[in-house]
Structure 1
Amino acid sequence: MSNTSGALYILSAPSGAGKTSLVKALLAQDDQVCVSVSHTTRAIRQGEQDGVDYNFVGQEDFSRLVDQQQMLEYATVFENSYGTSRQWVQTSLEQGQDVILEIDWQGRDQVLAIFPHAVAITILPPSQVALQKRLQGRGTDSDVIIARRMAEAHKEISQYGGSQYLVINDDFNQALADLQCIFTCRRLKTPQQAVNHHQLLVELLSTGD
């Protein structure tokens, strides 16, 4: 693990753009990255695990965390509340771990106000038709919910300019490579490399006997 602090990455995308699948693939090949597990008030779904997929809490507990300013960002989506633990993120970064937040554009803007050096990335589908097909292909939502998600997607997409990077998820492998490139480039910056390769730099700059 690096001796420098980790970097904070914010990934935003409309529902159905493939963000979760891309993050899962990224984690499988990059052990320097972890994903923040959000708190939510929504009911746990079949196959989900508390503390792994989400930290499932009641509305009263969620409101208390907000009142105590323990949430880095929070929002209400489809009548359910979601939020990110401020302490967990700060501790992970201090331990040198890169942290991914999977949040919407509003959460992104909240976090950037606190962590202006965070790296914001928006992931978009190749077309509206492709997005709708992906949502329908899940087989988990009614036509009414899909219509709501498409409307929300338009709002999310319209805010792409708030991110420093834009990844189009048309070909999955290419999108994954693009995403990994963003992480790699940040790690190659001089301050990070100067710490990681301190001994090498000392030797290279040595004038000898």
Structure 2
Amino acid sequence: MMGNLFIVAAPSGAGKTSLVNALIAQHAEIKLSVSHTTRPPREGEINGKDYHFVDQQTFSAMRDAGEFLESATVFDNSYGTSSAAVKSLLADGFDVILEIDWQGAQQVRNNFQQAIGIFILPPSKATLEQRLRHRGQDNEDVISRRMRDAENEISHYVEFDYIIVNDDFEQALTSLSSIIVAQRHSLAIQKNIQADLIAELLAQR
């Protein structure tokens, strides 16, 4: 059985990374696609686990060779998703999550129409700014820039299939998990998985 491809996007600081990490910790059958990026590692990040950290020359060569399912430039850094890595995980039956922005989501939709989009919203602008400051990763100029860009990012929510407001973390995590589980039980998937059972149940004696 082929796995499902999920796109999870959000403005910076909405909590999508924390939600995705918690989801994967609960579900061994879900894998996070590890993106390539040209930005320098943050404290505690591990190459190959958090990102594949590469220089701009390497990234550009991969992009020009068509190796990325999607790629984008965000805050002056390049990000890309390996098409081969995603297809390999899907073929092995894993559900795959792409933690990308709206630009990348548009590209994935063009190349993989079956992808399911999930957009994470913060409960308010004030909360979004508070979270950006609390994580202590960015200076004031970067925080101001992220807040200015948040409105544009959020305006693309209409391009996604599901919306989750990350106000209460545990509730948001439950909602995210429910979407994943529901997709596995869709008719399109289960009619093939349960073909033998359905044939037996419908067989006339």
Superposition TM-score, scaled by structure 2 size: 0.95
- Taking only aligned residues, the RMSD between alpha carbons, in angstroms, comes to 1.2
Percent identity, please.
50
Alignment match of 2:175 (pick from 173, 178, 196) = 178
Residue aligned with 1:159, SS: helix
Q: Which residue does 1:139 correspond to in 2?
A: 136
Q: Which residue does 1:14 correspond to in 2?
A: 11
Q: CA deviation at 1:174?
A: 1.1
Residue aligned with 1:84, SS: strand
Q: Which residue does 1:126 correspond to in 2?
A: 123
**Which whole-Å CA distance do the structure 1 matches of 2:105 and 2:27 have between them?**
23
**Which whole-Å CA distance do the structure 1 matches of 2:52 and 2:195 have between them?**
39
**Which whole-Å CA distance do the structure 2 matches of 1:45 and 1:167 have between them?**
27
**Which whole-Å CA distance do the structure 2 matches of 1:177 and 1:59 have between them?**
38
1:1-209 paired onto structure 2 within 5 Å: 4-208=1-205
Moved more, 187-196 or 46-55: 187-196
**Which whole-Å CA distance do the structure 1 matches of 2:39 and 2:188 have between them?**
42
The amino acid of 2:181's aligned partner reads T
Moved more, 105-114 or 26-35: 26-35
Deviations 1:33-74 (A, max 9, x none): 101000011112221111000001111110100110001111
Residue aligned with 1:46, SS: coil
Give the total of aligned pairs: 205
The amino acid of 2:38's aligned partner reads T
Superposition TM-score, scaled by structure 1 size: 0.94
Deviations 1:58-115 (A, max 9, x none): 1111010011000111111122111000111111111111110011101100110111
Q: CA deviation at 1:206?
A: 3.5
Give the unaligned 5+ runs of structure 1.
Answer: none
The amino acid of 2:198's aligned partner reads L
**Which whole-Å CA distance do the structure 2 matches of 1:206 and 1:29 have between them?**
38
**Which whole-Å CA distance do the structure 2 matches of 1:73 and 1:10 have between them?**
11
The amino acid of 2:125's aligned partner reads Q
